[in-house]
A and B are shown apart, each in its own frame.
Chain A
């Protein structure tokens, strides 16, 4: 099984170590950052599959940070984990596709792990499928696929090699 990498951003050290411990134990490669700035530095050096960030941080909000992440690393899954949130800003982030998931603190380990796992597998599959498409046939890359079909969670491969988006999930 491939080892996914997760970047945890929170200004609270005990949160970072707790989440780090959790995902380390799950077999993820974990990276910890105190600020969005630090996190962007880590993103530059490592291929990160999942970014898990607090919302309320000194400097910039989690949504603002994720907007930058999306611009630079559109493949990364972007999750906000926050106890206090400006709901309007979060919902705007969700609508824009900047925030893929939003979870509340205090969190439930099982739910958090499940959310991450369920997000990461289809992403992997989607990317694999898109890679297989010949450039001529390719109408979407994964970035504009999200925009054309916002909210898609899963994709499948048809026998002829086409990508199937299951409508029933909407």
Chain B
């Protein structure tokens, strides 16, 4: 069978390599002088825009109480079944509060449905994307880790009001 000419067969210039090396180096030096797009993470942190969906957090009011009334809708809508809520009664005006609120961050897929369904604007997606754990138990975030003061979540809440 006759040998077939391949598209990839190199020309003579390409075969001697030297010009190609200089061509490549030229591109490298040209880009060295251009402005950088890379970020030196973790020394330098990426601050996401308000539309970013980081880990879901619970909104903590200024008086230290959670907004959540433990209605369980986030838990119901969660496609990954990451959220567990146990409600209990309180003396406060909103009769109900979450006695336990746990998100399994291994299950969470950051879809933001919980935030979308929440009737109280009590669970929102934060800008926190640094989630590393060394075991399964650590990955279950309880109220201690989930509650974030409302002042830190202002721009996300603003974003939701505009676009939700």
Report if A and B associate in a common complex: no
Residues of chain B whose beta carbon lies under 8 Å from any beta carbon of chain A: none
Residues of chain A whose beta carbon lies under 8 Å from any beta carbon of chain B: none
